[in-house]
Amino acid sequence: MKTIMRQDVPAEETWDLTAIFASEEQWEKAFLYVKQSCETFFNKEVLLDSAEHTLTLLQTYDQLVGDYSRVSSYAFYLYSEDGTDAINQHRLGRAQSLGKSCASISTAVVNALLALPKETVQAYIAEKNELSTYARFLEKVDAIRTHTLEPKMEDMLSALSPALNTPNAVYLSVTSSDLTFEPVHDQDGKLVPVSLFTYMTQVETSPDTTLRRNAYKSLSAGLNNYQHGMAQTLASEIQKQSTIAKLRDYPSTLDYLLHYNSPASGSFYEGDGVSKHYFESVLDTFQQELAPHMQRYARLRKKELGLDQLLFSDVKAPLDPTYDPSITFAEAGEIIVEAVAVLGAEYQELMRKAFSERWVYRGDNVGRRMIAFGGAVHGVHGYSFYPWGGKLFDLILLGHELGHAVHLNLSNDNQKIINNSQSLLFIEAPSTLVEHLIVRYLRENREDQRLHRWLNMYQMMSYHHNCVTHVLEAELLRRLYTMADEQIPLTTAVISDTKGEILSQFWGDTVVIDEGAKLTWMRQPHYYMNVYPFTYSVGTSASTVMANRIEEVGISAGEQWTEVLKRGGTLSGLDLYKLAGLDLSSMRVIKDAIAHVGTIVAELEQSF
């Protein structure tokens, strides 16, 4: 149990936030400056009667977004260190309140630009070349022109955003505060506490079959007590999106979720406007072609674990539970920096700075955030939060989060912030590519065959998480949104039975799908994030094939990838992949990645 307080965490285990603000006083000064900038903006008439005035508006808006980004990031990072600290809570609350004002300004800017005819905007750009600097932002505004409501309606939706976010807020509140589970006994008779977090991060992959199965029963029983209220919450979220899709005149809710990304939304990640057909092709390809490989792996797991039946609680059980090497943070840094050398000197130097300049918070203290992330502050550099556990597993996941941090650092350094909303189709590729590079580096520099087998099992776990769990989440969303469009009531039974049907179709007769498995839709917040889950599978597929390409071509392919990362949000995901030499417009890359999974399963079958 954690007993260390934040103030007792050694400095080397914390990140250096002075690069954002040197002191609390500087943050306060910046906060008041952004607040005053918002008030000044609202007190002025938005004039777009000339190219000059339009350029001034975009420059002012870009500066404001960048200033707010630093203010909000600093507050969020300190809250991540210790969410129980009252000062951190207050600071974050102030930053979030300020964010509402900035969101209103974003809506006002977009409304003003949409009020201009497209031809006028083009004429302004031709007249004032500096406007081309903001071409991507203007392009995004134009893309939503035919689906935008009257300005007063857009203002109303913006003002109602906290209320419209209620389903997600309720879900997070219930799962973090209200849901409780009975403690269970492990194989030694020891009583073990159960929570959603510990189950998914520790128990689910435990070698103790008794603990896994008992915890799964406890988890299922706890979820069962809240299933009707949570089903209503999820149904409300889906109905909300369905209603807005109709208001914006989209043929289906999925078309809306895949296309509409308002520059005023404040979302850091953007969809690529891919078609519903593309979305469904991704889901169909994975379910049809990946399922046979995962079923083979399930049969291997059942055999090696000596189980009569492979229950849903057993699908992530380790096959070599006694192999769990330890590694220091310093050693992890050396390996990661060496592993990414194939991406070129510029990329490697940024990764080296992540360790030498303390980009990572890894303190194990009371109140810290539990979920890892990687990000970057515009105008500063990358940051990552990672609950370091000191195992080989942590090495690769730390590399994943730092892959996000370096990618966003490169992107921020080379793009204006209002142009730089990252592509959902691309965002998981840079991070998972670093995972592949670490695995390959260890294979090439370590002779231990048991390690090589462990690396294969790690990769299978990664594909399970990114290309099975998330794809099947997306499949449930596809079916539920289709039902909503057809005005079919989304009752508890409909949601759970649909989830059970999806799992049964994927796993066939290799895994027992019981009533608890049908409730797994209650475990994840992804169902409140539009169609985000399917993007993991696209990014993971691309990084798999890109890693193979770098191995075949060499550092020139890696340096090409780094140059692509610098383009940030100025291109769609499909165009970014194309620049890197990957054609994601068809299913070819995805099929190649799935075939790669098949070779890993074959190697594991042979190794056992």
The answer, yes or no, to whether residue 2 has pLDDT greater than 70, is: no
Please measure the distance between the N-terminal and C-terminal CA atoms of the chain and give it in whole angstroms: 36
Share of residues in the chain with pLDDT > 90 (%): 83
Residue 321 confidence class, pLDDT cut points 50, 70, 90:
confident
pLDDT in the model for residue 262: 64
Residue 269 confidence class, pLDDT cut points 50, 70, 90:
low
Q: How far apart are CA 209 and CA 268, in angstroms?
A: 41
The answer, yes or no, to whether residue 261 has pLDDT greater than 80, is: no
Residue 200 confidence class, pLDDT cut points 50, 70, 90:
confident
Domain 6-148: give its CATH architecture: Up-down Bundle (1.20)
Q: Are 517 and 311 in contact (CB under 8 A)?
A: no
For the stretch 365-381, pLDDT in tens is 988 887 889 999 999 99
**Most trustworthy range by pLDDT among 151-155, 418-422, 502-506:** 502-506
For the stretch 403-415, pLDDT in tens is 999 999 999 999 9
pLDDT-wise least confident of 167-171, 433-437, 470-474, 577-581: 167-171
Share of residues in the chain with pLDDT > 70 (%): 98
Model-level pTM?
Answer: 0.93
| Strands 269-270, 360-361: pairing kind | unpaired
pLDDT in the model for residue 521: 96
Helix spans in 47-205 (H): 51-81, 86-115, 118-127, 135-143, 151-159, 161-164, 166-173, 196-201
pLDDT in the model for residue 263: 65
Mean pLDDT on 58-80: 96
The answer, yes or no, to whether residue 279 has pLDDT greater than 70, is: yes
pLDDT in the model for residue 44: 85
The answer, yes or no, to whether residue 177 has pLDDT greater than 90, is: no
Mean pLDDT on 49-59: 96
pLDDT in the model for residue 1: 43
Q: How far apart are CA 538 and CA 325, in angstroms?
A: 31
Q: Are 289 and 591 in contact (CB under 8 A)?
A: yes
Q: Are 544 and 436 in contact (CB under 8 A)?
A: yes
Of 248, 252, 231, 247, which is closest to residue 482 (Cα–Cα)?
252
What crossing angle do the helices spanning 449-464 and 588-607 adopt, rounded to 10°? 140
Give the three-class secondary structure for 376. strand
Q: How far apart are CA 600 and CA 433, in angstroms?
A: 17
Q: Are 398 and 424 in contact (CB under 8 A)?
A: no
DSSP assignment, residue 391? B
For the stretch 209-253, pLDDT in tens is 999 999 999 999 999 999 999 999 999 999 999 999 999 999 999
Structure tokens at 608: 């056992």
pLDDT in the model for residue 264: 56
The answer, yes or no, to whether residue 434 has pLDDT greater than 70, is: yes
The answer, yes or no, to whether residue 46 has pLDDT greater than 90, is: no
Structure tokens at 286: 């994975």
Q: How far apart are CA 520 and CA 232, in angstroms?
A: 15
pLDDT in the model for residue 265: 54
For the stretch 450-469, pLDDT in tens is 999 999 999 999 999 999 99
Residue 169 confidence class, pLDDT cut points 50, 70, 90:
confident
CB atoms within 10 A of CB 28: 14
pLDDT in the model for residue 157: 87
Tokens 């799992």 sit at which residue?
503
pLDDT in the model for residue 198: 83
The answer, yes or no, to whether residue 55 has pLDDT greater than 70, is: yes
